[in-house]
Copies of this chain bind each other. A is one copy, B any other.
Amino acid sequence: MGSSSLTTNTKTAAYHSGTSLGEMADIYRRELLESILPFWLKYSKDEKNGGYFTCLERNGEVFDTDKFMWLQGRNVWCFSFMYKEITENPEWLKMALHGADFMEKFGRDAEGNWYFSLTADGRPLVQPYNIFSDCFACMAFAALDKVQPSDRYKKNALDTFENIIRRRHNTKGLYTKSFPGTRNLKNFSLPMILCNLSLELEHIIGTERVNSFIPEVVHEVMDVFYQPELGLILENVQEDGSFSDSFEGRLLNPGHAIEAMWFVMDLGKRMNDHALISKACNIMLNTLEKGWDKEYGGIFYFLDVHGHPPQQLEWDQKLWWVHVEALVALAKGYAATGDERCEKWFRIVHDYTWKHFRDPEFGEWFGYLNRRGEVLLTLKGGKWKGCFHIPRALFQVWKTLEKI
């Protein structure tokens, strides 16, 4: 597991300027195993009611007890995944089961849709208006089923998957605010979700069904949402694929596009399609060039493709998930193509990310920085930040760099 000769300084995550990318694998492994997973194990379990607290202050203190379904599901997924991929640590399995039990007991409405949030003791707070709750619940039970096979877990995952497929063209259902027919936009998350989910469920739904999703997602993302004249991916386009000159249509979400590109690189690897890998790597690098803040460093959260003011007031903030997903994409891009721009950018994003997001004092990482890279919110977890992007990214970078 990584080079033991590497001199790392866990306090500052410093590495010698001559350190190769391959030698850096170890600091990712150690951060995952020594800081991130222990933090969540220690602070997020609700021993009284089951499930997880995710609103954790800098030092792990619980500051809000609501249970957000995205993060319940992601926590279950994470500990199941690490148990399967790293080592069969019984504490990790116990942690995953702890959340899964709570989700099974309280998480769904009568139609099997997953609520958006619950009280600490499991009473529904916010209706299932958000299909990502279902996506992460589905991922959770599929991953748990891999390490502790159970017909019930399979059924939870499969029922939820079919429900998502049924809702895919009208994800918000009753809660849709847009007037039908005037400006029908499609968002590029949807094909990504289905592909992502189907891969997670491959042991349940079979390789054939998984493979049936891939051409559609590759086409949608790489031909429809990707704009060759810009070299960039738009977050929303008209249903016919054309540009919409509106706040939504002009929106760039660099982190989302970059995350999608490592996903497409993985699909390219699965299909042995080098041209696809190379195209995804180039789009990822274009997005990074466009999204990088030349003045203060870090990747912007949102931009308007025409340079107009975005409607998101948080547009210039630097978010944890954007930066760690970029590290995964750069590591994978470098491993797959050897493109030196990936190495150059990996070092730049690594330095920025470890310096600004990591909290050497209390463990885990900050989630929200202002444009200057100063901590905007002291939380380690909240309504949207849980145990997911950082551990998944540390794992992916570790495993990718290790093989270089």
**Chain A interfacial positions (CB closer than 8 Å to B):** 55, 57, 63-64, 66, 115-116, 119, 123-127, 129, 174-179, 182-183, 245-247, 306, 308-311, 313-317, 368, 370-371, 376-379, 382-383
Contacts and interface: CB of A to CB of B under 8 A. Distances in A.
A157 to B, nearest CB: 24
B247 A127 contact: no
Given A182-B123, A182-B124, A129 B177 contact: yes
20 contacts: A55-B308, A63-B306, A63-B309, A64-B245, A64-B246, A64-B247, A66-B246, A66-B247, A123-B179, A123-B182, A125-B178, A125-B182, A126-B177, A127-B176, A247-B383, A310-B377, A311-B383, A313-B377, A314-B314, A370-B371
Given A115-B179, A175-B175, A314-B314, A379 B309 contact: yes
Given A125-B183, A316-B376, A63 B178 contact: no
Q: How many copies does the complex hold?
A: 2
Nearest to A117: B179
A60 to B, nearest CB: 14
A178 B377 contact: no
A382 B309 contact: yes
Nearest to A61: B308
B115 A309 contact: no
A130 to B, nearest CB: 9
Nearest to A308: B63
A376 B313 contact: yes
Contacts of A315: 377
Given A64-B247, A175-B177, A316-B370, 12 more contacts: A57-B308, A63-B308, A116-B177, A119-B183, A123-B179, A126-B179, A129-B177, A310-B377, A311-B382, A313-B314, A313-B368, A316-B376
A271 B98 CA distance: 59
Contacts of A178: 125-127
A123 B180 CA distance: 11
A359 B163 CA distance: 52
Given A66-B246, A246-B66, A179 B127 contact: yes
Nearest to A183: B125
A252 to B, nearest CB: 15
Given A63-B308, A119-B182, A177 B127 contact: yes
A311 B313 CA distance: 13
Contacts of A247: 64, 66, 383
A289 B308 CA distance: 35
A314 B314 CA distance: 6
A309 B369 CA distance: 13
A315 B368 CA distance: 12
A317 B313 contact: yes
A368 to B, nearest CB: 6
A315 B377 CA distance: 9
Contacts of A377: 309-310, 313, 315
Contact of A179 (B125, B245, B317): B125
Question: Shortest 4 CB-CB distances between A and B: which pairs?
Answer: A313-B314, A309-B377, A124-B179, A63-B308
A55 B245 CA distance: 13
Nearest to A313: B314
A179 B306 CA distance: 39
A248 to B, nearest CB: 10
Contacts of A376: 313, 316
A182 to B, nearest CB: 5
A259 to B, nearest CB: 19
A382 to B, nearest CB: 7
